[in-house]
Amino acid sequence: MGKLLKITLVGIILAFVGERIIRFRERLEASRTLDPVELPNCHLLKGIEAGSEDIDILPNGLAFISAGLKYPGIKCFAPDKPGEIFLLDLTDENPVPSPLKISPGFDVASFNPHGISTYIDRKDDTVYLFVVNHPQFQSTVELFKFVEEENVLQHLKTIRHDLLSSINDLVAMGPDSFYATNDHYFLNPIMRKLEMFLGLGWAYVVYYSPKEVKEVAANFYFANGINVSPDNKHIYIADLVGHDIHVLRKNPDWSLTPVKVLHVDTLVDNLFVDPTTGDIWSGCHPNGWKLFFYDPDDLPGSEVIRVQNILSENPIVTQVYANNGSVLQGSSVASVYDGKLLVGTVFHRALYCDLKDL
Ligand SMILES: *[C@@H]1O[C@H](CO)[C@@H](O)[C@H](O)[C@H]1NC(C)=O
């Protein structure tokens, strides 16, 4: 090979890698510094010390919190303790989270809960809880029935599927159907890092029912939180490192049609939809480096945003809370109920705030 050709090739490769590094940096960071935004009536919840990654709330004010996530490359404060689902009654004056018992037969030792979603069957008011689980770092969906009188989760079934190889979050559509985000294409830890570094955009969304399983949306860098609008017409999907919230229309055959993309200058994790206002609340990561490369001397912060009128021409995005990690590290979800705000985190604690006087 001629010398000139070699130099040209090396130049092209360096330019490609350089461009990828710049893009990777952009994807992992918000383009601004994080100024604190404080809320007056907040405290950390007792008993939650190793994550509260996702939160869903029933119409009666009972909140489910998934705790103790072990996720490749992410900090964990209790690596030997199985994950749990906590219950918190938001109608209490001073709510205290308590871990839910799980019916015998389910392998609680390998329980590693991630995204969760509730579904109420109006026929008989049965409450179902769908939980993304990573036993031995695999991906399954566990379907539970919530028996409120006994405070027990009764395990109904485990769902596995080739298209659900790296599930992050899900939103229930029926007593045994859901949409789920698959956050990576690759399973191998090195290939996963490379996938994110190269920005391949191979993450996707799946519709699952016992009769049919299909890919319904694709080309996400890191498909993360997913939820549905209160009128059941639109699906919202967070692309964590794309810094975007995607709005898609739900079709009768469960396929999804892209409607719009809202760019928010932060890494959007789970999405919570306020059933009364339709507002989208999200726990976000202002700096992905600090989340993926944990350094106790340079903590990952927390940020809560609220999006109003996402379908309108001018959605309003409000930064409701921001903290540099001194109080709360790695916020991943923000859920509201009757003037109360619950902020969950990937691996840290959970913050409870009373918004009434705001
Ligand atoms: C983090 O924020 C707190 C409160 O806003 C402040 O006192 C502290 O100096 C900040 N720490 C760093 C490392 O910036």
116 is in an annotated binding site: yes
Q: How far apart are the C-alpha atoms of 85 and 179, rounded to whole Å?
A: 21
The residue whose C-alpha atom lies closest to atom 14 belonging to ligand 1 is 324
Using the mean position of ligand 1's atoms as its centre, give its distance from the Cα of residue 326 in Å.
6
Domain annotation covers residue 27? no
169 is in an annotated binding site: yes
The domain in which residue 247 lies consists of 32-354
Domain annotation covers residue 189? yes
Query: Which pLDDT tens digits describe the chain residue by residue (358 residues)?
Result: 688 889 999 999 999 888 888 888 888 887 788 899 999 999 999 999 999 999 999 999 999 999 999 998 899 999 999 999 999 999 999 999 999 999 999 999 999 999 999 999 999 999 999 999 999 999 999 999 999 999 999 999 999 999 999 999 999 999 999 999 999 999 998 899 889 889 999 999 999 999 999 999 999 999 999 999 999 999 999 999 999 999 999 999 999 999 999 999 999 999 999 999 999 999 999 999 999 999 999 999 999 999 999 999 999 999 999 999 999 999 999 999 999 999 999 999 999 999 986 6
Domain annotation covers residue 240? yes
Using the mean position of ligand 1's atoms as its centre, give its distance from the Cα of residue 35 in Å.
10
Domain annotation covers residue 9? no
**Residues contacting residue 134 through CB under 8 Å, at least 6 positions apart:** 69, 70, 71, 112, 114, 140
Using the mean position of ligand 1's atoms as its centre, give its distance from the Cα of residue 302 in Å.
12
**Token code pair at residue 258:** 């892209």
Nearest atom in ligand 1 to 38's CA: 5
pTM value is: 0.95
CATH number at residue 338: 2.120.10.30
Q: How far apart are the C-alpha atoms of 98 and 103, rounded to whole Å?
A: 16
The number of distinct structural domains making up the chain is 1
Nearest atom in ligand 1 to 298's CA: 13
224 is in an annotated binding site: yes
Residues in the ligand 1 pocket, defined by CB under 6 Å: 36, 324, 326
Q: What are phi and psi of 321, to 5 degrees?
A: -150, 140
Decide if 285 is catalytic: no
Domain annotation covers residue 306? yes
Q: Count Cβ atoms below 10 Å from residue 144 Cβ, excluding itself.
A: 24
Q: Kind of pairing, strands 152-159 and 101-102? A: parallel
